[in-house]
Amino acid sequence: LNCAALSVPCIGYEYADTQRMCHPELSVPLNDLLAVKKMINRLKNEPGFYDDCAWEAKNGYDKYYSETNFKRVMNDNINKILGDE
């Protein structure tokens, strides 16, 4: 999540919500080291891939985890619990 906030691409396991939401192109199955190696090579060698992943990371962070959005989601959840929809 910290990497996404700073627009830094991060390879990680797809089971983590923050990974899937902020770094979908860099999410890999658990223990799939071949997939990790492919992602590293793409980030290093494929023109524009690093920049695309950096933009996607920051966009995912802003969309799902920014302070403004976090407050809205939490207020919605509290209202649902309290029945004040």
Residue 85 confidence class, pLDDT cut points 50, 70, 90 = low
Find the mean pLDDT for residues 6-18: 94
CA distance 80 to 49: 40
The residue to which tokens 């990371």 are assigned: 57
Global model pTM greater than 0.85:
no
Report the alpha-carbon distance of residue 20 to residue 1 in Å, rounded: 11
Give pLDDT tens digits for 23-51: 999 999 999 999 999 999 999 999 999 99
Beta-carbon contacts of residue 34 (< 8 Å; ≥ 6 apart):
none
DSSP state of 25: G
Q: Quick one: which of 14, 54, 30 has its CA closest to 62?
A: 54
pLDDT score at 84 = 62
